[in-house]
Homo-oligomer: A and B are copies of this chain.
Amino acid sequence: MHVVSKLSPPRSRPHPLAGAITLREPSSVIPCEAMSEAYVHGYDARETARLSDQAGTLVDLLHHDTAYPAGSRVLEAGCGVGAQTVTLARNSPEARFTSVDVSATSLAEAARRLEAAGLDNVDLRRADLYALPYAPASFDHLFVCFVLEHLARPVEALRGLSELLRPGGSVTVIEGDHGSTTFHPDSEAARAAIACQVELQRRSGGDSEIGRRLYPLLVEAGLRDVRISPRMVYVDASRPALVDGFTRRTFTAMIEGVRAPALAAGLIDAERFDAGICDLHRTTEPDGVFTYTFFKAVALR
């Protein structure tokens, strides 16, 4: 299991949506008829595929209204493998991005993605988010996505990052909230399996239900004109790309990914966890429904 420092984001951030748990082996095969054979592949390949799926289905929902003016200097804090960076840089081709992450491995993957996308308006830098080597007012805008959920001190992080902005610069933050999940058919077991992820992330110092509290966090960090817009991913059988790309291959795969640490921590027994995963897969059937809400905050320094 990955250990999260109290002062830094996780050294690698394998799942944008997910918690601070990084599995190094394939998860066990769960005896559930609804499961795809793809889930027995090795973790890394599967995880990379899942990230691509997620970015593809969520990109419009989360990013369609983020664009920066020509010449503006944008700091992306915690870019990870660049899943959001490619979208950001493509949507604002005349802006100049500085995307930082603490993990050299993630940055190497981000560089590969940017090159593959033919984007040259991003500088990638390895640095600790709590101690970035930039002077105050070095940037016009700040972008933070799927990062605060991992931090024990998100307000301190936001305050420090905001000091790198010029007065009047904008701050954009996007985070998920696992507690926002609803589904049909409802299932106590599925909710118990999700609760394992929430508890493991909490024990790592993070908060996978942070989305709902972006407003007070940004206000406490001293930002002004804080405006929140929820972004619900609503999935039913009329939206097959989301059934597969979000419910199955993003959310359920993420919860499935905490099986081993959840069992090791004694949070749940195997039978109940596996029943929960089966019930999450059940929501991908023709009469099933799944919802999840991200929260996007925009504010000014």
Looking at the assembled complex, report how far the CB atom of A209 sits from the nearest CB atom of chain B, in whole angstroms. Answer: 7
Q: Is B289 in contact with A219, judged by CB distance below 8 angstroms?
A: no
Q: Which residues of B contact A227 (CB under 8 A)?
A: 238
Could you give, for residues 196-228 of chain A, a 1 whenever the CB lies within 8 Å of some chain B CB and a 0 otherwise? Answer: 000000000000010011011001100000111
Q: Is B232 in contact with A182, judged by CB distance below 8 angstroms?
A: no
Q: Is A182 in contact with B212, judged by CB distance below 8 angstroms?
A: yes
Given A184-B212, A213-B184, A230 contacting B291 (CB threshold 8 A):
yes
Looking at the assembled complex, report how far the CB atom of A281 sits from the nearest CB atom of chain B, in whole angstroms. Answer: 16
Complex formed: what's the CA distance from A234 to B238 in Å? Answer: 26
Q: Which residues of B contact A56 (CB under 8 A)?
A: none
Given A232-B232, A291-B293, A238 contacting B212 (CB threshold 8 A):
no
A109 in the interface (beta carbon within 8 A):
no
Q: Is B230 in contact with A232, judged by CB distance below 8 angstroms?
A: yes
Nearest chain-B residue to A226 (Cβ)? B238
Q: Which of A7-27 contact B (CB under 8 A)?
A: none
Looking at the assembled complex, report how far the CB atom of A264 sits from the nearest CB atom of chain B, in whole angstroms. Answer: 26
Complex formed: what's the CA distance from A196 to B236 in Å? Answer: 28
Q: Is A216 in contact with B293, judged by CB distance below 8 angstroms?
A: no
Q: Is A287 in contact with B216, judged by CB distance below 8 angstroms?
A: yes
Complex formed: what's the CA distance from A182 to B214 in Å? Answer: 13
Looking at the assembled complex, report how far the CB atom of A205 sits from the nearest CB atom of chain B, in whole angstroms. Answer: 18
A237 in the interface (beta carbon within 8 A):
yes
**Chain copies in complex:** 2
Q: Is A215 in contact with B289, judged by CB distance below 8 angstroms?
A: yes
Complex formed: what's the CA distance from A183 to B288 in Å? Answer: 25
Complex formed: what's the CA distance from A161 to B181 in Å? Answer: 32
Looking at the assembled complex, report how far the CB atom of A260 sits from the nearest CB atom of chain B, in whole angstroms. Answer: 27
Complex formed: what's the CA distance from A180 to B181 in Å? Answer: 8
Q: Which residues of B contact A128 (CB under 8 A)?
A: none
Complex formed: what's the CA distance from A288 to B213 in Å? Answer: 8
Q: Which residues of B contact A219 (CB under 8 A)?
A: 237, 286-287
Q: Which residues of B contact A212 (CB under 8 A)?
A: 182-184, 289, 291
Looking at the assembled complex, report how far the CB atom of A228 sits from the nearest CB atom of chain B, in whole angstroms. Answer: 6
A186 in the interface (beta carbon within 8 A):
yes
Interface centre among A220, A227, A232, A237 (most CB of B within 10 A): A232
Could you give, for residues 143-183 of chain A, a 1 whenever the CB lies within 8 Å of some chain B CB and a 0 otherwise? Answer: 00000000000000000000000000000000001011011
Q: Is B184 in contact with A216, judged by CB distance below 8 angstroms?
A: yes
A52 in the interface (beta carbon within 8 A):
no
A229 in the interface (beta carbon within 8 A):
yes
**Residue contacts A-B, CB under 8 angstroms, 9 given:** A182-B212, A183-B212, A184-B216, A215-B237, A216-B286, A219-B286, A228-B289, A230-B232, A232-B232
Across chains A and B, which 9 residue pairs bring their CB atoms closest together, nearest first?
Answer: A216-B287, A215-B236, A184-B213, A230-B234, A230-B232, A184-B212, A182-B212, A212-B289, A180-B182
